[in-house]
Amino acid sequence: GLAGFGWVGLQAAMVLGAQLPPVWEKRDLVVEGRIADLPHPEARRTRFRLLVDDHPSQVAPLRGRTLQLSWYDDFDATEPGPRTGLRAGARWRFVVQLRAPRGLSNPGGFDAERHALAQRITATGYVREASMARQLAGPRGINAWRERMSARIGMAVDSGSSRYVRALALGDTHGLEQRDWEILRATGVTHLIAISGFHVGLVAGFFALCGSLVWRAFPGLARGLPRSQAAGLAALVGATAYAALAGFALPTTRTVLMIAVVVVARMSRRPLRVADSLALAAIAVLLFDPLSMLAAGFWLSFAGVAWLAWCLPRTQSLATGFVSAQGVATLGLLPLSVLLFGQASAVGPLVNLVAIPWWSLVVVPLALVGTALEAVQAGAGSWAWQAAAWCFDLSWPLFAGLARNPFSLWWLPEAAWYAPPLALLGTFWMLLPRGVPGKVLAALLWLPLLLPPLEGPAEGEVELLVMDVGQGLSVLVRTRRHALLYDAGPAVADGFDAGERVVVPGLRAMGVPRLDLAVISHGDNDHAGGFEAVQAVLPVDGSLAPKGSPVAVGSACIAGRTWRWDGVDFTFLHPTAHFPYLGNEASCVLRIESGHGAVLLTGDIGEVVERELVRRD
């Protein structure tokens, strides 16, 4: 135990120590390296990872390290620039500006720093001086092959479904749009759309079956290697080859290691219980990559296998076992899903009953057959990819329709620390064998997680949450029974949207299902950009902005307007009724006063307006 903690701590310290020192930040640096994954092109930029050459010519803190980079078009560019020439596996020289990985800190928000730590990213930054970027060597390696195959799928499948076939065959999810991910989350099938541990397990099982059939057809082979061991080795070979298609992404590598543990146990002819195999697999994964425990998939995969191994009898028929497994997985993983993601799919169990057999046994095999044929002869895989897309299209409209239901996805507020353990205890109780009493009462142990008590302000009190949106502003103001949003942060076309990434998750985590009022101080993007995303997701009863601003709202904020919520007074101090819209200087200034003091939200007013407000006060 202590050795394990020490190993994890050592790895974490090494990764943190490898992050870019502050002295190297905000400086133009010349780096050379190889593009380490498939570039992700967007409307105004391309995101990619660069593995810097481990060579004395490179900046010392960056040698052999991984950088997360963005290459933006020029501000006045009308079409993509030289960034379109980026290819996976190619070597390039760039002038870059970097900084150590940093992220925003908000309730319910994405932890970018933890993600960078798990991915061992040394620095993030962007390409400077596009004219000085040079390709030093052409694409090579498994990722270059994956990118070529992805392009061929795009040419062979001329419908929008090509992006799904690329994801299922190669793990290339870069073509998926935001709406696609929303449907996948709402229907609980994100684990199926890319090459995952589940798919690796299916391929391993297929290879094991093929190996077993070969040994049955040629009994003499068993004299050199028993059939069970041959099947295990075939499974490991198949799993490793399939994981290579995903560029040895962490979820697939984890599954390969789990299969390897079982194969080694079979080869050594030592009987292992499922619990022993699972424990050894976890040890192998953590020895290989201790920081994998930072990924949600680590906990979900091992917990899912543990629940299934404990709950499912060995004598069930295939159909009954599949339905039972889906029920056990849904119930067993729900507490973890809520804890990790703050959400649960209400239609997920139903959708998975269709998606798992249809996608995994029909769509994915067709996509893989196409990839295998294409690897042998260019153009030979087109028919299989087209068939995979056609089969996928049979199911996707059904799932998209279910996702449109407003009750398909439950968003749950952040619960107290004791809620997940209680929910897990309740799950354990529910999944005990038949005849164990009190299973109805076990559901009560879920209540702190599913219906957490929300501690809001008392009567006459006000609570402010200033959200971390980067450059910009967004403030949640809550009284006992009301909620007001002041500004919604910035939004960049085809890029970061604070409304979507920060404000909405924050409101959900705080248990705010609707807004009584939204005040957009003025029309600048860093204050108003995220408002559209907020309106698209949450009910907003009323909205205000300065008269003449470009923000689409219900009415204008005018000095002198007052109201009272739950013993708390709200008053607009600026702009006056005849004040022209002047951008920052026309910002809505809101005074909030309770029995404990007052708060002034001023937007971006300047010194002139500040002096006028002081004079009037």
* Domain-embedded: residue 60: yes
pLDDT digit string, tens, across residues 245-300: 777 877 788 888 888 988 888 788 777 777 888 888 888 888 888 998 998 888 98
Which residue among 95, 114, 140 closes a domain?
A: 140
* Domain-embedded: residue 495: yes
pLDDT value at 494 more than 70: no
**pLDDT for res 441:** 85
* Domain-embedded: residue 232: no
* Domain-embedded: residue 18: yes
Residue 94 φ then ψ, to 5°: -130, 155
Tokens at 287, concatenated: 């020895």
Model confidence band, residue 129 (pLDDT cutoffs 50, 70, 90): confident
Q: What percent of the chain clears pLDDT 90, i.e. is strictly above it?
A: 65
**pLDDT for res 147:** 95
Model confidence band, residue 497 (pLDDT cutoffs 50, 70, 90): very high
Average pLDDT for 80-96 = 94
**pLDDT for res 314:** 64
Q: Report the chain's mean pLDDT, rounded to a whole number.
A: 91
CA distance 19 to 346: 41
Model confidence band, residue 573 (pLDDT cutoffs 50, 70, 90): very high
pTM: 0.89
CATH number of the domain that residue 562 is part of: 3.60.15.10
CATH number of the domain that residue 86 is part of: 2.40.50.140
Put residue 609 in one of left, alpha, beta given phi > 0 → left and psi -120 to 50 → alpha. alpha
pLDDT value at 419 more than 80: yes
The number of domains in the chain is: 2
CA distance 345 to 372: 35
pLDDT value at 198 more than 80: no
CA distance 609 to 546: 14
* Domain-embedded: residue 215: no
Which residue among 140, 159, 183 closes a domain?
A: 140
CA distances from 610 to 249, 570, 584 (A): 54, 19, 12
- Under 8 Å between Cβ of 75 and 44: no
CA distance 283 to 266: 18
* Domain-embedded: residue 474: yes
pLDDT value at 325 more than 70: yes
pLDDT value at 579 more than 70: yes
Among 50-59, 334-343, 522-531, the least confident range: 334-343
Specify the DSSP element, H or E, that contains 91: strand 91-99
pLDDT digit string, tens, across residues 365-413: 999 999 999 999 999 999 999 999 999 999 999 999 999 998 899 999 9
Average pLDDT for 417-422 = 92
Which residue among 140, 171, 190 closes a domain?
A: 140
**pLDDT for res 316:** 65
* Domain-embedded: residue 34: yes
**pLDDT for res 399:** 95
CA distance 104 to 488: 15
Residue range of the domain that includes 520: 463-616
Q: How far is CA 235 from the centre of its chain?
A: 30
Average pLDDT for 67-89 = 90
Tokens at 80, concatenated: 């993509």
pLDDT value at 61 more than 70: yes
pLDDT value at 611 more than 80: yes
pLDDT digit string, tens, across residues 442-473: 889 999 998 888 888 999 999 999 999 999 99
